[in-house]
Structure 1
Amino acid sequence: MTTTPWPVPVAQEGPRHPLDPEPVRATKAKAVFALGLFAALTGLFVGGVVPATVALHLARQARREAYASGGFLTGAAWLRRGERLAWTGLVLVAVAVVAVVVVAVVRLTEAPFGHDYPSNVD
């Protein structure tokens, strides 16, 4: 790799065709972000599983549509943020489930084993 002391000119793109659509943010990108945020906020209450799953599925669809649009659908940053929040929500759900299982096992081990008969029974 070589460096030059002067700025290298960037290749100019030709003028856009008049029938080309304007680049717009994908609406699914907004939905992915909103669902990911909701999943992260409700992850500890195990309610984040459904919105996180839906967000990850929508993100996959949105990426496919953005690729097929040839650059006229934007919103990749919102998709990344939404995916990260969705994964955070899933991790929080896993932490909550593991904590509940550990507490249940500890309480189960503290419970008396077998029948607890009165002292006058052989």
Structure 2
Amino acid sequence: MTTAPGQAPVAEHPTRHPLDPDPARATKARAVFALGLMAALTGLFLGGVVPATVALHLSRQARREAYASGGFLTGAAWLRRGERLAWTGLALAAVCVVAVVVIAVVRMAEAPLGHDFPSNVD
């Protein structure tokens, strides 16, 4: 291909092989995002632990499949968002557990120790 003087040479794009598959979004990426969103929404109620764990395991599988596909599986942005939401759900659950433990310890510290006998008992 020739170009006029002063123009940058035009690079030709390599043509795809006819048997190459079309790029497609990984279905696990959408599932990871949905589970991560559910984990973030229910994290304070400790219900977010299960969907967050499943989302993190699915994201690991989806990354391996995307790497093995050679770039024909897309959806890396959905995976990242889903992983972030899953970690957020786990962090909210951990904050809730810590808060419950602190409240329990404070209440136990305020409670009287031993038996509370009446004033006429030695």
How high is the TM-score relative to the length of structure 2? 0.90
Residue 21 of structure 1 and its aligned partner are, at CA, apart by: 1.0
Superposed, 1:80-91 pairs within 5 Å as: 80-91=80-91
Which residue is equivalent to 1:55? 55
Aligned length: 117
Task: Give the deviation of 1:121 after TM superposition.
Answer: 1.4
Structure 2: state its 5+ residue gaps. 1-6
Distance 2:69 2:115 in 1: 69
What letter corresponds to residue 22 of structure 1 in structure 2? Answer: D
TM-aligned CA distance change 1:18 to 1:96, over 3 Å:
same
Q: CA deviation at 1:20?
A: 1.2
Structure 1 pair 111/92, CA: closer, same or farther in 2 (3 Å)? Answer: same
Structure-2 separation of matches of 1:15 and 1:115? 85
Indicate how the Cα distance of structure 1 residues 9 and 91 shifts in structure 2: closer, same or farther if over 3 A, else same.
farther
The structure with more radius of gyration: 2
Residue equivalent to 2:108 = 108
1:1-122 aligned within 5 A: 11-122=11-122
Distance 2:27 2:8 in 1: 37
Runs of 4+ in 1 over 4 A off after TM superposition: 7-11
- The CA deviation at 1:119 is 1.5
CA distance in 1, matches of 2:71, 2:60: 16
Residue in 2 aligned with 1:4? none
The 2-side partners of 1:14 and 1:67 are apart by 21
- Residue 82 of structure 2 aligns to a residue whose secondary structure is helix
Aligned mates of 1:107, 1:10 — CA distance in 2: 75
- Distance in 2 separating the partners of 1:113 and 1:9: 86
